[in-house]
Chain A
Amino acid sequence: MQEPKFSDEQLVAYCDDQCSDLERRQIEYAAVSDPELKRRIENIAAIGINDLKDAFHSELQQAPLKRLEEFLVNQAPTQYLPPKKTFGKLAIAAGLAATLFVGVVGGGMTTWKIQSGTEIENWRESVAVYQMLYSKDTLANIKVDKSSLGEMRERLRKQSGLNIEFFNLEKFGLTFKRGQILEFKGSRLVQLAYLSVTGQPVAICFLAKNQNEMPMKIEFRHGLNIVHWVKNGNPAMIIGDIPNQTLTKIVSKILEG
């Protein structure tokens, strides 16, 4: 069987007016005496460019714009928003994320909030939902300016009313990345974010709310290990995808301090 003189690629370029004038003339000249070529062109051009453009254009109006805009606006003011680890978690988080109001304490104070679709009573559940959105990428690019750590700590203390320390956890393979003020049901919440040498995000959180003293306890939420306790009336927790044994050692060190 004889090879067609013009390829489909050439013919689609002809139909889209993307070929050279010379090629256009050659195709048109050949099509006059070649019914098969004419048929092939008609097949490609049957749904014209304008129809395709209009079809795609009409699709823009079907976008669920209100929901998407709300989502974007609620994420927007921070460049450090935690990415979603998996698609499933992503969907969960979009609907579930607790009423956490977040302020990144750095050069300037930025606040943003995660809207709540579902009320979450337990602050540790809320933190766990938030934490599971973190990935290595969330923290990896954050450069810690050691000279500003003192100022950052003072801001956190002032805003939370808690005597916050930035724990040096290098011996546990954890590098301090940042401190944030969040808010849970009207109570200030401090989150200290660390990144492990294996790329696991870990957070230590303190809630500025009075509760009865409690020794450390172990929990597991959303695939993350948690050790939590109450000291000086303030609930605290450490959370991450690292062994409980390591977490309890870290908490012991914090409680000693």
Chain B
Amino acid sequence: MTVSDKILPLLPRLWRFALTLTGNNQDAEDLVQATCVRALERASQFATDTHLDRWLLVMMRRIWINKIRKDVVIKRKGFLLDADAARFVDGNAVAERNIYLSEVLNLIHNLPEAQREALLLVYGEELSYREAANFLEIPEGTLMSRLARGRVTLKQQLETGFNTQPDKSNRQTGEN
């Protein structure tokens, strides 16, 4: 089985993480493609006794931080990207539970980047606190703090009402 065969089933998770990082469909897709290209190029460096999914996610995050984030932030600054709207599901077309989940997702995507990725790694990728902290190269306490703040913010936004098409021009990418 080739590396690309092994990557294929991981594509949805790669895309989800890319979307968590970029907050935009097109940028997420481009980030997945960049990660695939890098992974294939460096396939010989992949240690078979490690998890391919973690290897890819770490690689994706490095590409995002080192090469792409600045461009995306500049591009996004001051205006709302049309492409963002495509991510949000049509509330009339889905069941109540799905509406709620899509609202939760919208709120998550409006959190600062550091909180978004902490939530995704722990609740989406289901990493332990320690694994997620190692992944992000931060102390475990910092990770837990981000989780706590993220969840409190989600609750507050749920209570105060929120816009199902959040203004991405205010979307935060820095530490919080």
Chain A residues with a Cβ under 8 A of chain B: 8-9, 11-13, 15-16, 18, 43-47, 49, 51-65, 67-69, 71-73, 75-84, 86-88, 90-91, 94, 137-138, 141
- B41 pairs with A53, CB closer than 8 A: no
Cβ-based interface call for B77 (8 A) = no
- B33 pairs with A46, CB closer than 8 A: no
Give 29 CB contacts A-B under 8 Å. A8-B148, A8-B149, A8-B152, A9-B144, A11-B148, A12-B151, A13-B144, A15-B151, A44-B148, A51-B101, A54-B97, A54-B101, A55-B105, A58-B98, A59-B124, A63-B12, A67-B29, A68-B11, A68-B14, A68-B33, A73-B4, A75-B40, A81-B37, A86-B71, A87-B72, A90-B34, A91-B26, A91-B30, A141-B44
A13 to B149 Cα, complex, angstroms: 13
Q: Provide the residues of chain A in CB contact with B13, threshold 8 Å.
A: 60
Cβ-based interface call for B80 (8 A) = no
Q: Provide the residues of chain B in CB contact with A88, threshold 8 Å.
A: 71
- A75 pairs with B36, CB closer than 8 A: yes
- A62 pairs with B87, CB closer than 8 A: yes
- A72 pairs with B12, CB closer than 8 A: no
A43 to B159 Cα, complex, angstroms: 10
A88 to B13 Cα, complex, angstroms: 23
Chain B residues with a Cβ under 8 A of chain A: 2-4, 7-8, 11-16, 19, 25-26, 29-30, 32-34, 36-38, 40-41, 43-44, 67-68, 71-72, 87, 89, 97-98, 100-102, 104-105, 108, 119-120, 122-124, 126, 128-129, 141, 144-145, 147-149, 151-152, 154-156, 158
Question: Given A12-B144, A78-B40, is A63 in contact with B15 using a C-beta cutoff of 8 Å?
Answer: yes
Q: Which of A9, A12, A81 contacts B41 (CB 8 A)?
A: A81
Q: Provide the residues of chain B in CB contact with A47, threshold 8 Å.
A: 104, 151, 154-155, 158
Beyond the given pairs A8-B144, A46-B154, 15 more chain A to chain B contacts, judged by CB atoms under 8 angstroms and listed by A's residue number, are: A8-B148, A16-B147, A18-B128, A46-B151, A68-B32, A69-B8, A75-B37, A76-B40, A80-B41, A83-B34, A83-B41, A84-B33, A87-B34, A87-B68, A91-B30
Q: Which of A51, A59, A83 contacts B16 (CB 8 A)?
A: A59
Q: Provide the residues of chain A in CB contact with B100, threshold 8 Å.
A: 51
A94 to B29 Cα, complex, angstroms: 11
- B148 pairs with A12, CB closer than 8 A: yes
Question: Given A67-B29, A87-B68, is A56 in contact with B34 using a C-beta cutoff of 8 Å?
Answer: no
- A81 pairs with B40, CB closer than 8 A: yes
A212 to B101 Cα, complex, angstroms: 65
Q: Provide the residues of chain A in CB contact with B40, threshold 8 Å.
A: 75-76, 78-79, 81
